[in-house]
A and B are shown apart, each in its own frame.
Chain A
Amino acid sequence: MQQFVTVTLNGLTLAALYFVVASGFTLIFGLMRVVNMAHGSLYLLGGYIALEIQTRWFTSDSGLGLSLSGKSDAEYSVFAWLIPLVLATLIIGVIGVVLQQVFLRWNQGQDLRQALITIALSVILADQMLAYFGGISKDIAAPSAWPTSITLPGEVRFGFFRGVVVLSAAVLIGLGLYLIIKRTRFGKIVRAGVDDREMVSALGINVNRVFIGMFFLGALLAGIGGVLGGTMISLAPGQDTAFLLNSLIVVIIGGMGSLGGAAIGALALGLVDAYADVYLVFGDLDLTNYSIIVTFALLVGVLAFRPLGLYGRPA
């Protein structure tokens, strides 16, 4: 029972992280029909920028910095985590806008070309990050004052950052996005744009400004995800593609462009992932090694019955 609760919490917290990252991905797609293949790079870059700010401003490092997690044993105040979080997120948001204005704006409506451009960017970014930040996995330090773990009823222990911070961040972000989409003028335009882009621009709305806002928001979410993920798990080369893949699975399950779909998709992916890692044992037959396949079985299953995803609508 204890194990089941822990595994479920693992799944939920993974789902929370996937949701934060994938929500940005799905919003951009929903409005602009751009499959931003550089979304994973923005995730990783966001984490690395936060780490860089934290290391430069809040620790005093010297020598070769031989370390397995890329972290010194300094004390970290709450600001040593929050300031990098805010700055890195904003920087990634701006990078997202630049990416959209410089590379994608003049290709509006050409899905394939835009996807290829963003793939190219993600490959270039991946190599640049490898060259600059190295190939060793690194953690962003959480504030030292925060507890490492909390005890839930039934003697279940769980990580504080993972269980409390990441989960509540995801819930807050989900609520915030819901309010933006449902209650603001910007949200109205976005929703209208998801349904019929041509009509929206025909009504005299400056679509370019909406696109800028959307890309800023989408990239920002990738950046927040990067900082949360970098603290909860860690940052390493290859996580850009891993999180792009996760985002793709989440939005394909949930339906491209749907926020609720992203939440459901993230939950499905996170929980299936966590359960398959542990419970794929049949007597003596231990298949946990193949748990990743179950994730794709889920994907195949959803697509077989709902080709547009659970909440997807035709473009």
Chain B
Amino acid sequence: MFRRSHVALVAALAAGAVAGCGSESGSGSASGDGAKKAATDGGGGEPIKIGFLSDCEGAFGSFFEPTASGANLALIKYAGAKPAGEKPTDGVTGATIAGKPVEIVGYGCADDTADKAIEETRRLMEQEDADILIGPLSGDEGIAVANYAKEHPDKTFVNGIAGAQDSTLKVGAPNFFRFHPDGAQWSAGLGDYAYNKLGWKKAAIIGDDYSFPYTSLAGFVAEFCAIGGQIPKRVWAPLGEEDYSSYISQIPKDVDGLYVGIGGSGLISFIKQYEEQRGRVDTERMLGNVFWDDPLVLKEVGKSLVGGVTSAMTAADSDSPDVAAYIQGLKDNYGDEIAGAGPSVFTYGYYTGMTALIKGLEAAGGDVADQSKLQAELAKVTLSGEEAPWGDVKLDSNRQAISNVFLKKIVEDTTGDGVPDVQTFARVNDVDQTFNGAFSADTPAPDRENPKCEAGEAPPWVGQSEDVSFGE
């Protein structure tokens, strides 16, 4: 109900109400006042200019600093940079790659809409003259930036954390790279878990009405239906909706479970309003997507989510020394609050993206005048160890990551900070974007109705997820 597009409607009505005055089109447009240039002082020669694009407004605006911290940490660890201030978006100084100084030309701020993302991309690439873009954050933005990349083959684009399937599978820009799994891949293993472990036969899904949740829920639908599950109801609410009451009342009660694909600030409203309407969040009948165990979400509504199961590429409880080193790196440079958001896919996606970019640039000798060499090297980059502490990453022929995914349960607090914890119980290895051919460039893009719920050949990881137990 409360959407930005109302501006035009208001203008139209206003015109009527005052007998024909002109139309107004003022929407807020603050272009990231936190965005500062990071001057460089080391190295010589023409600098490598990198534009950073994330969201500081809209449903995911709270992730602006965490995403910047991820990208900066990669520069600090692998390019000798130093933080230029207390906030990640204050920038970094002294980064060099292959002997060339690196300049972050700006921390671009979008608001989860495609048009704002393109406006900021244009500013960074055309006015600030960046050679390479890292970003964006959200699904629709990612598809738009991938299309922009296609029109600008002489520049290189490394995705931030936008998870819509189309940006790599459908758009196919040869200069657009995504070093993390997409939304559907993040859901891998959940359909298997719901059908075979929880015994769900019929499930409903609810999600935000745009490309990322379509993708996220598509992963679940493809797997759950392939092995025999049914999806009788799909409910879609606008992204950033604040009043979910009418959507909650549409969730059927005669199903075995519900997969929730609502994200960002909307998830907080959804959880609170679900509690109001149904008494409690019946987590034993629910699965959540990548947002459920995000540190920011756990901090605010975690207590309501205890018992819920979710999946994604990070696992906060991991006991791997590489994970500890990554978190410690964030802590040393930006303090506890930012480090607390380290296990968020938002921080991590920008970290792996920037790390891969640094490796690609090193291999290409820092040449950004002719980027075909950089692009060829990037396609070959693999990440392991501290470069990708939650699991090795390699790219497929669509320049899309193949990696592993963790299944996790949200459990009562054990560390004494009052915030529920994450307990990882399984890992699904080598998850690829196509789900063994269920998704291809020719299949319909995930949307409100697709993929259809059809029994068929199960993805290869069904029944193959590996039991994991950290810290024991």
Contact = CB atoms under 8 A, between A and B. Distances in A.
Q: Do A and B come from one complex?
A: yes
Interface of A: 3, 6-7, 10, 14, 35, 37, 40, 63-64, 66-69, 71, 73, 111-112, 115-116, 119, 122-123, 126-127, 129-131, 134-137, 139, 148-149, 151, 157-160, 162, 233-234, 236-239, 241-242, 244-245, 248-249, 252, 273-274, 277-278, 288-289, 292
Contact of A136 (B6, B33, B265, B297): B265
A286 B299 CA distance: 36
Interface string B331-371: 00001111011000000000000000000000000000000
Interface residues of B, number: 65
14 contacts: A66-B66, A68-B267, A68-B268, A111-B19, A115-B18, A122-B26, A126-B26, A130-B28, A139-B268, A148-B276, A237-B57, A238-B3, A242-B2, A273-B1
B337 A66 contact: yes
Given A69-B300, A135-B56, A289-B236, A234 B242 contact: yes
Contacts of B66: 66
B245 interface: yes
A69 B111 CA distance: 16
A294 to B, nearest CB: 12
B2 to A, nearest CB: 4
Contact of B276 (A111, A162, A239): A162
Nearest to B4: A238
A-side interface mostly: helix
B28 A119 contact: no
A248 B17 contact: yes
Interface in B1-36: 1-4, 6-7, 9-10, 13-14, 17-19, 21, 24, 26-30, 33
Given A130-B30, A135-B111, 7 more contacts: A64-B87, A73-B299, A115-B14, A130-B57, A134-B61, A136-B265, A239-B2
Interface of B: 1-4, 6-7, 9-10, 13-14, 17-19, 21, 24, 26-30, 33, 56-59, 61-62, 65-66, 87, 111, 209, 236, 240, 242-243, 245-247, 249-250, 264-265, 267-269, 272-273, 275-279, 296-297, 299-300, 335-338, 340-341, 418, 448
Given A35-B18, A126-B26, A248-B17, A157 B246 contact: no
B57 A135 contact: yes
A10 B336 CA distance: 41
A68 B28 contact: no
A68 to B, nearest CB: 5
B14 A35 contact: yes
